[in-house]
Amino acid sequence: MNIVVCLKQVPGTTQVKINPETNNLIRDGIKNIINPLDTYAIEEAVRLRERFGGGVTAVSMGPPQTESALREAISLGVDEGILLSDPAFAGADTWATSRTLAAAVRRLAQTDLVICGRQTLDGDTGHVGPQLAQMLDLPFIAYVSSIEDVAEGQMHVRRLVEDGYEIVASPLPAVITVVKEINTPRLPSLRGIARSRSATIPVWGVKELNVDPKGVGMSGSFTRVVRIYAPERACRGEILQGTPENQVDCLIDRLKKNGLI
């Protein structure tokens, strides 16, 4: 199976702050990591290769430092990594990002499966998987929690829904997003790390992908962020005092008064 994993490099924490002067996010001093949910996508791709043979390619769109995320993916078992980087790609919303990734997938030979993580910890949208599928005109399944079987160009998976799970069949090639219930990502191995150090990571830009620069990046984005702010947490209520006995009595009294019990 030829598998493509789309991954994103994100800040290594959600505890980000806003610079009050520029009103932009403070990114200095924050280590970059592979988006945690993408590590499950990487692990699943590597497991599928171990089961069915073939190859795994990791693709990521980002500034030049994103290369380290692709090398890390190689240390985790991915065969090769490709960096999509170009000034024209900057400022992309999920639509423009999906467009760029779609162009890369088209350039790769004969992909059987594209795997994305469920959502990123910075944007939290979960859009790239489905939009990529739509742009590549491929079947799409979200929230895959287990790949049960792959045989004769067909895939059977389990996917999570609110009140349980569904067994879904799909022809290949297809695009899926995976949830963390699907596996436990492995640790890097020493040989993997050695490979990741010596690997060549090709960089594809506007030219290599043959895309119109106006259709990607900020100029290709439909949405705009007009404002960001840190939500305020105002002190709301009453701290009940006294012994546990007192506190509980007080609480029951309050709840009764509010008609809640």
Which parts of 63-82 interact with other proteins (CB under 8 A)? none
How many chain residues bind other proteins (CB under 8 A)?
A: 86
| String of DSSP letters for 158-185 | EEEETTEEEEEEEESSEEEEE-GGG--P
Pairing of strands 2-6, 113-117: parallel
Binding window for other proteins (CB under 8 A); candidates: 12-20, 53-61, 81-89, 107-115? 12-20
Q: 245: which residues sit within 8 A by CB, 6+ positions away?
A: none
Question: Of the two residues 190 and 202, which places its CB atom closer to other proteins in the complex?
Answer: 190
Site string for other proteins, 130-159 (x = CB under 8 A): xx-xxx---xxxxx------------x---
- Of residues 39-58, which lie at the interface with other proteins (CB under 8 A)? none
Question: Of the two residues 107 and 254, which places its CB atom closer to other proteins in the complex?
Answer: 254
For CA atoms 118, 159, 73, 212, give the dihedral sign.
Answer: negative
Would you give the distance in Å from CA 190 to the centre of its chain? 25
Question: Of the two residues 4 and 118, which places its CB atom closer to other proteins in the complex?
Answer: 118
- Of residues 160-219, which lie at the interface with other proteins (CB under 8 A)? 160-171, 174, 181, 186-194, 197
Report the distance separating Cα 92 and Cα 220, nearest Å: 7
Question: Of the two residues 85 and 146, which places its CB atom closer to other proteins in the complex?
Answer: 146
Q: Minimum distance from CB of 261 to other proteins (Å)?
A: 7
Binding window for other proteins (CB under 8 A); candidates: 39-47, 57-65, 78-86, 120-128? 120-128
Q: 126: which residues sit within 8 A by CB, 6+ positions away?
A: 118, 119, 142, 177
Report the distance separating Cα 204 and Cα 13, nearest Å: 28
